[in-house]
Structure formats: C-alpha cells, structure tokens
Structure 1
Amino acid sequence: MPQLALYTFGVLKSPLSDPTPLTRELHDRGAAIYRKLGRHPGYRGRAVAADRSRGSHFDLDWGAWGEFAVPTWYGKGRTVETTALDATLSLWTDLRSAFTAIYTGLHREALNRRYDWFERTAHPSYVCWWVSDDAIPTWQDGVSRLEHLHDHGSAPHAFTFHHAFAPDGTPTELRGRTGRAS
C-alpha cells in the first residue's frame, strides 16, 4: 500500500542560532509538536539526524533520508551560525492522517503564528507525494517536488492538501476538512 511523503520548508527570519526569546519559542514549540505528531494515528516516521550536535543541517548524517538539500530559492547561510531554515520530511499512511495532524492541535497553533518566525514568500511551504510502502524518500526528492509544485502547480507527482491526488493519480479531495489547507 502506498504511503504519503510530506516535505515542508520555510526560510526563517533569524538564524537558528539566534538566542532571542522568539527563536527559543520556535525551538520549544517544535519539540512539543514533534512529540505530538509522533503519536498521531497514521504517522510512519520522519527524517532525524543521527547526531544533531555535529553541525548544521548540511553537515548531519540523515541516514536513509539522504544528504540534506534545500530549494534553489534558499539564499541564507549553511553554517551553524547562519542557517535560517526549518525543513521536515515525513511519512504517513494516508492523506487524511497527515492533514489532520498538520491542521489541528499544537501544529495548527504554530501555523497561526508562522509569520512571527518565517519569511513570507511566493514559494510553497510544503509538498505531498505518494511512495511505495517500502520506500524512504530523500531530502532531494522533497526539494525537487517542491520546486516542481512551485513551477507547475499540483499534479500527481507533487501536490498540496487543497489540490490532492490519490495514489493512482486521480484528483481527490479531503471531505470535511477542518482548518485551512493551502
């Protein structure tokens, strides 16, 4: 049975190393959100670096998730002191589970405040696509699909919750959506 891959990417207003309360708040909320998402029905797993204390995202060992990559439009730093991004790569059993996890609870609260932390851009902040049950998507897969979504819009290859596709490539919609999906 196919599983849903979800890649998210955002450019932060300040580097991750910024000691201000707002950056600390983002870190604290992120840790609580990841704990909650990890227990959500339909959650299969996410990319986690083997040793997070070794450097920036670009220096870490992501195992089967591959070498860390970012979209071409990311123009900020790549060192521990200058990296200003947040990215996730996760797997879900289905579209509904991922949507519900993202648009309810703690994650929804954080989405309501995203512009406190993230720059506003004309680029999409996430992309979904289907992978086989035994596949582990890579960071590069996520980046290429996010860039495809930006350049061409939703398609079976790269889509959003608002313009979703079933595993067989047919358009589908999430009935009874709670929250805003865009």
Structure 2
Amino acid sequence: MPRLALYTFGVLKSPLVDPTPLTREFYDIGGAVYREISRYPGYLAHAEAADGDQGALFEADWGAWGEFTVPTWYGKGRTVETTALAATLSLWTDLVPAFDAVYTGLHRGALNRRHDWFERTGHPNYVFWWVSDEVIPTWRDGVARLEDLHDHGSAPHAFTFHRSFSPEGAATGVRDIGPRNDR
C-alpha cells in the first residue's frame, strides 16, 4: 500500500539559537506540535536525527532519511549558530489524516502564527508525493520534489493539498479531503 511523504521547509526570520522570546516561542511550540502530531491517526513516522541533536541539522546522522539538505534558494547559515530554517520530513497513510493533522490542534495554531516566525520567500513551503511501502523518503527527495513543485506546479510526483493526486496519479483536490466530522 503506498504511503504519503511530506516535506516542509521554511526560512526563519532569525537563527534557531537566537535567544529572543519569539524564536524561543517557535522552538518550544515546535516540540509540542511534534508530540501531538506523532499521536495523530494516519501518522507513520518522521525524520529524526539518530543522536537526537535537533540543533545540528547539517551535521546530524539522519539514518535511513539520508543526509540533510535544503533547497538551492536557502541562503542563510548552515552552522548551529547560523541556521535559520525549519524543515520536516514525514510519512502518512493518506491525504485526509495529513490534512486533519495540519489544519487542527496545535499545528493549526502555529500556522496562524507562521508570519511571525517565517520569511515570505515566494517558494512553496511543503510538498507531498507517494512512496511504495518499503521506501523511506530522504531529505534529498523532499528538496527535489519541492524545487520541482516550485518550477512546474503540482503533478502526480510533487503536489499540494489544493492540487493533489491519488497514488495512481488521478487528480484530486481539497474538496475531496478535509477535517472529518467522525471523531
């Protein structure tokens, strides 16, 4: 059964180590969001550094998720002191659970605050694609799909909620997914 890969990427207004309250708030909320999403129905897994070090993105061992990489248009730092980005890579059972998790709960609240923390880059900040059951997507896969989405728009190999595709490549759309009322 195919699984849904999701890569997210955003450029922060200041480095993750910035001691200002706004940056600390983002970092603290991020931990709570991850904990909530990891318990969400339809969530399967997300990339985690093998050594548990969240601050050393580029130097960390990501195991099967591959070497950490970022889109070519990211122009900020790559050291622990200068990194100003937030990126995730996760696996889901389908679009509906992913949509529900993104647009409800703590993540919804964080989305409402995204302009406090993130720069507006003119690039997409997330991309989906289907993978076969045995595949673990890599950071490089996510970056390639995000860049392809930016350059060519949604297609079966790189898409968004608003213009999505089934595992077989059939077009779907946001009208076909959304928060369920059966909980």
TM-score range, shorter chain: over 0.9
Distance 1:89 1:108 in 2: 18
- The answer for the alignment partner of 1:9 in structure 2 is 9
Q: Which amino acid aligns with 1:104?
A: T
1:158 aligns with 2:158: yes
With normalisation by structure 2, the TM-score equals 0.94
Flag the 1:63–1:88 CA change in 2: closer, same or farther, 3 A: same
Distance 1:159 1:43 in 2: 18
Partner of 2:58, secondary structure, is helix
- Which 4+ residue blocks in structure 1 deviate beyond 6 angstroms? none
- Residues 92-131 of structure 1: matches in 2 within 5 Å? 92-131=92-131
With normalisation by structure 1, the TM-score equals 0.95
Identity %: 72
1:177 aligns with 2:181: no
- Residues 5-154 of structure 1: matches in 2 within 5 Å? 5-53=5-53, 56-154=56-154
Would the aligned equivalents of 2:95 and 2:177 in 1 still touch at CA under 8 Å? no
C-alpha RMSD of the superposition: 1.2
Distance 1:76 1:140 in 2: 18
Flag the 1:116–1:65 CA change in 2: closer, same or farther, 3 A: same
Structure 1, unpaired ranges of 5+: none
Flag the 1:131–1:54 CA change in 2: closer, same or farther, 3 A: closer
Distance apart, 1:177 and its partner CA: 2.7
Deviations 1:91-139 (A, max 9, x none): 0000101111001111011000001000011100000000001110000
Distance apart, 1:51 and its partner CA: 1.6
Distance 2:46 2:84 in 1: 20
1:168 aligns with 2:174: no
Distance 2:113 2:54 in 1: 29
Distance 1:115 1:54 in 2: 22
